Amino acid sequence: MSRTVPSPRLGFLYPGHAAEDDYPLLGRMIDPPAEVHLVHTGFLEDTHTVEALSEMGSLPRLQKGAEALADSGIESVLWTSTSASFVLGLDGIRQQIDALEKALGVPASTTAMAFARAITAINANSVAIAATYPEDVAQRFCQFLDHFDINVVHVSSRGIVTAAEVGELEKDDVIEFAVANSHNDADALLIPDTALHSAAWLPDIESATGKPVLTANQVSFWEALRLCGKLTPQRGLGRLFEEIP
């Protein structure tokens, strides 16, 4: 007799408005469907600069967002901004995770940490990065991955300043961007911005590039499931979800 896995109850803190609709979509795409609780957090400025991202990912911002998830019954929580975690370095990320776990009493993580774990899960030693960020922010992501001995063989910076603009990119734009940065020496391609839509297009992006692709919203959802012990193989969500270690 097969064991029935109860529906996951997942919490996500998402800065502003861009591609947040990926999360309820991902919740409907998995079996069994997930109960998604998403809270929008605030910031002073929608711009991909180290200063603005540091403010966006500050502990008061996260703690205020966590208050809206209290008593929601979630089993894990993710701070879903890649850049507003890695720009703070590993110590800053640890503080973000600690603050969320203390506030909500459930396992927590960030999208940046989700990338590091997902890369390990698919046994990728070398990666290429297709970043929508300006170059200085993209280089911070490379520095973050270096802590985990992940070899970056290629990085591209599209130079888009605001999350709102990233969220307007259509399927063809995303696939073209992915293909242009799919490096022969890379085991996987990373697309690290949670402002970028990707959930509905994961099989198409992987088919076009011919290799595993990890996107920010995909790895965030994967990490939330992993944290609450309800990560199971799924179809249509990329190779990351096909085989669960």
Q: Which helix (H) or strand (E) holds 112?
A: helix 111-121
d(CA 135, CA 155): 9
pLDDT at residue 2, rounded to an integer? 41
* Structure confidence by residue, pLDDT tens digits, 89-121: 999 999 999 999 999 999 999 999 999 999 999
DSSP state of 8: P
d(CA 186, CA 59): 35
DSSP state of 135: H
DSSP state of 3: P
Per-residue pLDDT of the chain (245 residues; tens, 9 = 90+): 345 668 999 999 999 899 999 999 999 999 999 999 999 998 887 777 888 899 989 999 999 999 999 999 999 999 999 999 999 999 999 999 999 999 999 999 999 999 999 999 999 999 999 998 888 899 999 999 999 999 999 998 887 767 778 878 899 999 999 999 999 999 999 999 998 999 999 999 999 999 999 999 999 999 999 999 999 999 999 999 997 76
pLDDT at residue 48, rounded to an integer? 77
Which amino acid type is present at position 129?
I
pLDDT at residue 3, rounded to an integer? 54
CA-wise closest residue to 133 among 107, 104, 112, 109: 112
d(CA 203, CA 73): 32
Q: In what order do the strands lie in the sheet with 151-157?
A: 151-157, 126-131, 188-191, 213-215
**Domains in the chain, CATH or no CATH each:** 9-241 (3.40.50.12500)
- C-alpha dist (Å) from residue 157 to 128, 131, 132, 178, 245: 12, 5, 6, 12, 32
- Give the rounded percent of residues in the chain with a pLDDT score beyond 70: 97
- Token readout for 144 is 């973050």
